[in-house]
Structures are given as C-alpha cells and as structure tokens.
Amino acid sequence: MLQLQTLRDNKDTIIAALQKRNIDAAPIVDSVLLLDEKRRSTQTELDNTLAESNKLSKEIGNLYKTGKAQEANVLKEKTGTLKEDSKRFGDELNAITEQLQQLLYQIPNVPHESVPAGSTEDDNEEVFKEGDIPVLKEGSLPHWELAKKYDIIDFELGVKIAGAGFPVYKGKGARLQRALITYFLDKNTEAGYTEMQVPHMVNEASGYGTGQLPDKEGQMYHIGADDLYLIPTAEVPVTNIFRDEIVNEQDFPICMTAYTPCFRREAGSYGAHVRGLNRLHQFDKVEIVRVEHPEKSFDALDGMVEHVKNILRELKLPYRILRLCGGDLGFTAALTYDFEVFSTAQDRWLEISSVSNFETYQANRLKLRYKDENGKSQLAHTLNGSALALPRVLAGILENYQTAEGIQIPEVLVPYCGFDMIK
C-alpha cells in the first residue's frame, strides 16, 4: 500500500509511473487526497472539541471547589454538547479512515524505473537465457502422457478424489516430488535462509498484509465457517510473521524459506497449455522470503535471481529470465523477474519462478518497520521468490530427460531419490 505522505508529495510522478501498468490513476489518487484532507480536518475538529471539553471540565471542578455550583452547572450543559460533538466527529473520522483505507488498497505498487512499458506477457523483456534445448527423438511425449505411461502421476484419480487440478503422485513420482522439495530446501538453507514450517491457512489480516486481499479474493479458497483462507503461496504466512513488528536494523537481512502446498481456485482456461501439471488448483512450492534494509533490497533481488539460476544450472534445465512489463507486473510488486523453463515436448516456455521486490508496499500494509540509526521508525523492504514451484519443474524434467529406456533423473537429484531412472 502506498503511503499517504508519498502520494501527497509525489502525486504527478506516481500517476505517470502507474501509466506503465496501463492505469489512469489520476481519479483515484485525487479521491484519496481529497478524502485525506477531509480526514485531517475532521481530526482537527475532534482534537479541538476534546481540548475544549477538557478545559471546561477543569473549570467546572474549580467552580465547584469555590462554591460556584450554579456557574458550574451552566458549563456542564456545554460539556454535554461537546461530548455529543466529539462522538459525532469520532464516528465521522472512523468512517472516513475506513473509506480511505479501502481506496488505498485499490492502488497498485509503483513500478520500478527499470520496468518496461507494455500490456501483456508478450511485452516482457528477456534479460537472460541459458542451457541447450535437448533434441528429442520422434515420438517423444508430453509429461501428462509420460506420467500415465510410467504410472507416476494419476490425474484421473485426482479428479475422483477432489476434482480437476488435484493430481495424485504415485511411487517414483511421489519420491521424485519429495526429492525436489528436500533438494530445494537444502539449497536455500545452504545459502543462508532459515527454514520455517508455517500454517497452510491464514486469517483475513494476513491476506491484506501481503496484498492477496482484496485484489485476489476470488482466487483464494475461503473457509467461511472460520473465516480463514488456504494459502496461495508460503509468501503469505512467512511474511506475516513480521506483521506489526519493529525489527532491529542490525538483523538485516532476514532470510527465510518454507515448503508448503499452495491452493488457487482459478486454474485458467482449457486446452493443451493448461493440461497436466501446467496449471493446478493444488501444487507444492518452496519459497524464499527476505526482509531487507531499503538501501540493499535491489542488491538482494539480484542475489535471489542468481540463487535460482544456480539451482536450474544444477538441474541442467534450459531456462530464460524475463523482466515483467508494467501490464504483466503483479499488483504488489515494484519489479519482478520471471524464470521460465523450456518444455521440449510441448515446445513452449513454462513459468517456474517469480522473484520480486515489493519495496515498502507490503511493509506499509503490514506495519513492518525498523529503527534507523537516529531511532526513527522506517518501513522495511520485502522480497520473495519461488525456489522453486514444483509442477512445471517436474514437467520439464520428465519431458527434457526422457529417453528410449525411460526418464533419466538429473544427477543432482539421484542422492535424494535413491534411483537414477524411471522405467
């Protein structure tokens, strides 16, 4: 959430920057600033009324002490009116503050200056590519057919149990899935990230804290009886560990990693591009989250990008990195790099990770602050990334590593799996 002071001081700059998202933000920014003026004037009225009431209360006490009860009673009538006025101003202030908050929730983060202009994913900027795309033999299969051939993932059984988008991993498929989770966690902890185990459900405040609410409310599974949400990513519970917290400046960087299942109601349209593991309602992901000093957050973002690169190099999967354009940038992000692995059998790129810097946007919602060297509270910067999302990594391994004898396991995963081939 953008800070009111920042909006007041940089109105025109922010409106111009949000045009990269193809948004005309002028009307809502103007509404926010007008409402903020009303809030401040109402606050002044309330403060003045309370001050006058307190002043009269002291005078009444002194009049009673000096035996001037009649004069005191006259003033008591005035304080009664003042109390009614203060209640009215207080109610107005609460209503204005809530309305202002809801308007601020509707304004997305300001894109970083390096974010390219553009409307769709076609306008994203490729900044890096690495790895040779394997040449598959004639008759090579997409991962959903390989999964059936080798009986390692059962999509139809998932439909029976829960519905489309809930696969069942079997035998070596389940072991490979577990191996990937453990491998990703090991890589992250070796890089200095503290492993966390967090709830798979969060309350409404947590959803608002990281920006899933109200923006993505329709994409989350909601448990109405308890007013809880199944998490769409570990980013939500991990980052909310620091909601309403003041951290020590010397504790930066704060680095955490967590494995969780992820749940998303919307699973896209129909067709080959969402078949199999390409898009699911439930999937596994290992996340990395950082809380950083504002002056170091973009260096940290570069470090996160390099970290994900190293994992993909070890897996020997061909991949590329895209800098997302304004039109494809997530609501809360200032800058995002997407990693895509090449699916040889499908002849297309599949997104497997997003690494983002939110600057102060989430921290302002979370009230996540630190004390600077002068003892003044400042908003921290938050970052997160997938390291990695499993379904499409697994799809890439199955398709790119298929041979006439079976599916070869990437060398780095063999110690985790306990086998080197799925036959």
Annotated binding-site residue? 352: yes
Annotated binding-site residue? 31: no
3-state secondary structure 120-167: CHHHCEEEEEECCCCCCCCCCCCHHHHHHHCCCEEHHHHHHHCCCCCC
Radius of gyration of the chain (CA): 27
Annotated binding-site residue? 264: yes
Who contacts 341 (Cβ-Cβ below 8 Å, separation ≥6)?
312, 317, 318, 319, 349, 350, 352, 392, 393, 396
Distance CA 352, CA 280 (A): 13
Distance CA 5, CA 194 (A): 35
Annotated binding-site residue? 265: yes
Chain-centroid distance of CA 184 in Å reads 20
Annotated binding-site residue? 399: no
Annotated binding-site residue? 178: no
Q: Is 367 helix (H, G, I), strand (E, B) or coil?
A: coil
Annotated binding-site residue? 386: no
Task: With residue 195 as reference, give the H or E element that holds it.
Answer: strand 194-196
Annotated binding-site residue? 287: yes
DSSP 407: E
Q: Which residues are annotated as a binding site?
A: 233, 264-266, 287, 351-354, 384
Q: Which residues are annotated as a binding site for L-serine?
A: 233, 264, 287, 384
Q: Which residues are annotated as a binding site for ATP?
A: 264-266, 351-354
